[in-house]
Amino acid sequence: MADRLSDDEIAEGLPSSWQREGDEIVRVYEFTDYLHGVNFAQMVGEIAEAQFHHPEIIIRFKEVEIRLTTHDEGGITDADIEMAEFIESEQTAQTGGIDDVEL
């Protein structure tokens, strides 16, 4: 399992649009309607299972919040940064970079 990253490593590796909140990295995605968010959450869940690294996924009306940390290490590791990058690339690939994902 990857080691915890330093503050500088986190700041350097964090994809734009993501924020650091203590021992987690966080991003809120906005959607045109509730079910688009639900579909996006399903996609994130499939990525999590494939990577065996599981974010907290909070589905709200027209937005989905993704929170990542490495529980086994008690903080932020490369696994979290890589998962965030993967989610960003998948979401961008499917929407051309806009948040209201038409899945």
Ligand X SMILES: C[C@H](O)[C@H](O)[C@H]1CNC2=NC(N)=NC(=O)C2=N1
Give me the residues that bind ligand X (CB under 6 A), please. Answer: 52-54, 69-72
Q: How far is the CB of 17 from ligand X (least distance, A)?
A: 19
The Cα-based distances of 75 to 38, 63, 79, 89 in angstroms read: 27, 25, 11, 23
Of 54 and 62, nearer to ligand X (C-beta) is: 54
Q: Which residue is nearest to ligand X (CB)?
A: 72
Q: In this structure, are residues 30 and 97 in contact, taking their beta carbons and an 8 Å threshold?
A: no
Of 2 and 103, nearer to ligand X (C-beta) is: 2
Q: How far is the CB of 89 from ligand X (least distance, A)?
A: 19
Q: How far is the CB of 70 from ligand X (least distance, A)?
A: 5
Of 69 and 91, nearer to ligand X (C-beta) is: 69
Give residue 12's region: left, alpha or beta (phi > 0; psi -120 to 50). Answer: alpha
Burial of residue 6 (CB within 10 Å: 0-12, 13-18, 19+) is exposed
Of 28 and 103, nearer to ligand X (C-beta) is: 28
Separation between Cα atoms, residue 94 and residue 87, nearest integer Å: 11
Q: How far is the CB of 46 from ligand X (least distance, A)?
A: 14
